């Protein structure tokens, strides 16, 4: 999700990217546990500022940052 809002969707799609909202909709529809937004554009110096664009759709969303890690558990 390179684009924090929908005002540049055409450009985002041209480059194969999504908006925060689109990413959140995909997470919601995919029934995922948590969404980590990453790959922020240089025009987005504060990725958390527009995070409500995603959390309004999928509440368990965070903006990734350098050094963020997690452990994944896979079911049988």
Q: Where are the domains of the chain?
A: 6-63
Quote the CA–CA distance of 20 and 38 in Å, as a whole number: 10
Answering whether pTM is above 0.75, one says yes
Q: What residues does 3 pair with on adjacent strands? A: 19
- Residue-wise pLDDT tens digits, 14-39: 888 888 999 999 999 999 999 999 98
Residue 1: pLDDT band with limits 50, 70, 90: low
How is 51-71 classified by DSSP, letter by letter?
Answer: THHHHTT-SSEEE--TT----
60 has pLDDT over 90:
yes
First to last CA, the chain: 30
Residue 76: pLDDT band with limits 50, 70, 90: low
């Amino acid at each position: 999700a390179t684009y924090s809002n929908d005002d540049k969707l055409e450009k985002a799609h041209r480059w194969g990217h999504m908006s925060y909202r689109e990413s959140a909709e995909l997470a919601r529809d995919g029934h995922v546990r948590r969404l980590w937004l990453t790959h922020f554009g240089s025009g987005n110096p504060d990725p958390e500022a527009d995070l409500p664009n995603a959390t309004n759709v999928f509440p368990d969303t965070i903006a990734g940052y350098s050094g963020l890690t997690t452990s994944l558990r896979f079911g049988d």
